[in-house]
Chain A
């Protein structure tokens, strides 16, 4: 790297390939070098081996790659890892209890809200954030909240019912 860029890195204005990234992933602090072009999804899947977060369309259409950034659902395929420096990331692994399943995950199982399962992590992360913000969402609020997550198997009805059931049961 040119020395000018290196000098600027000291005041935080420039990110170079040598810049390090400090984030928290599922409660664990991560501190590692990260080039500017690294996408958060690639960092999670390829560098940190957190492969629960799926790569679907890779263009923001399908929602399979949804993670929480400071509690907010975010498309990790359209997020530069460097731009979440010092933020807290929660993936599907992070919303899953160490033993067993969350209320929402159990509801997905009980309602058959998952078939091939590829989109399921994205739905679970999106719905977890929804229930955090609105513990008792209406059906139309659920439909709206998951409208950025595509499922090609279920036809959505069972997913909506599972989220409704989890809301009734309380997280």
Chain B
């Protein structure tokens, strides 16, 4: 597969990158690791005439215990000993992403802003032309839930649920300067598979920040996928908790791979704070998440199965967090 010709910019500062993107707001994409964007370009999915490569931009790199640069390679984060020993839960999530070869190029920012996926979208141009194009690329209808308004493509990043349950924040650069928002609020609850972020066109993800108490949380990430390597999640559940003996000091639960955004369920986990995380409470939380989650028929496994597995994975994740906190 060959790429269609495009212009390539290689800015060296954040300001220059943002300015270039603003100049070509409808005709460009930022290029980070390329492991998601370039396959899509090869399949002629929403190709733009200009790529703005971020590899030479100063200020997007670096890994420390409270800050991860958006251009940090997933493999580098995985291998950073200080980081890995402080955040084993993040390590679990990273090792579930694609393959070591993809992680060697793929970046943290790229995984957080991963293009949503759908088996009517991630297909060759020939395949899509044969069926008729979809809302997300070149067409005007959705083949998953037949209508013309909303795209149901699934958010398939593995890192976001884990960073959300650790209350990570992200720094965003735009024409008007920098701002910081909780990662969870980066994703638009009223959006869809196309309009997914609270980011203005041209804004650039700079870094992820972890709060001080993130290191005190026991976290885990469990992923359902068809093959144990490479595959995107059919669902992913992240959980993080802080405990004083049996008493819950804080509990967070995140779900990805099911809907158009990774989301948290604070309304289900907050009531547990101050009490014991019993098996009954875990089961009740799991039932609550299952009730709210709405997988559709756009990934490999059937939505009915994924919905049931949401409950199983939530139970497993919460039980694991509780029991490993006891051991620690």
Contact = CB atoms under 8 A, between A and B. Distances in A.
Given A75-B35, A80-B53, A14 B101 contact: no
Interface stretch (A36-44, A95-103, A113-121): A36-44
A144 interface: yes
B101 A58 contact: no
Interface stretch (A104-112, A145-153, A157-165): A145-153
A15 B101 contact: no
Interface stretch (B6-14, B234-242, B294-302): B6-14
Nearest to B10: A13
A17 interface: yes
B16 A13 contact: yes
A74 interface: yes
Interface string A34-68: 01110100100000000000000011110100100
Contact of A15 (B1, B10, B39, B98): B10
Interface in B1-42: 1-12, 16, 31, 34-35, 38-39, 42
A78 B5 contact: no
A16 B102 contact: no
A60 B10 contact: no
A72 interface: yes
A15 B7 CA distance: 7
A30 interface: no
B90 to A, nearest CB: 17
A16 B12 contact: no
Contact of A12 (B10, B98, B100): B10
A57 to B, nearest CB: 9
B88 interface: no
A37 B98 contact: no
- Which of the four size classes fits the interface of chain B? 20 to 34
A97 to B, nearest CB: 24
A82 B8 contact: yes
B173 interface: no
Contact of A148 (B31, B34, B55, B102): B102
Interface in B288-309: none
A133 to B, nearest CB: 9
A80 B8 contact: yes
Given A37-B5, A60-B102, A148-B98, A80 B10 contact: no
B5 A63 contact: no
A15 B11 CA distance: 11
A149 B102 CA distance: 11
Contact of B8 (A36, A42, A73): A36
A79 interface: yes
A15 B99 contact: no
B104 interface: yes
B53 A83 contact: yes
A148 B101 CA distance: 6
Interface of B: 1-12, 16, 31, 34-35, 38-39, 42, 51, 53, 55-56, 95, 98-102, 104-105, 228-230
12 contacts: A12-B10, A17-B5, A37-B6, A59-B1, A74-B104, A79-B34, A80-B38, A82-B10, A83-B53, A147-B99, A147-B229, A148-B98
Given A36-B5, A42-B2, A147-B100, 12 more contacts: A13-B9, A15-B7, A39-B3, A73-B104, A74-B104, A80-B31, A80-B38, A80-B51, A82-B8, A82-B10, A144-B95, A148-B101
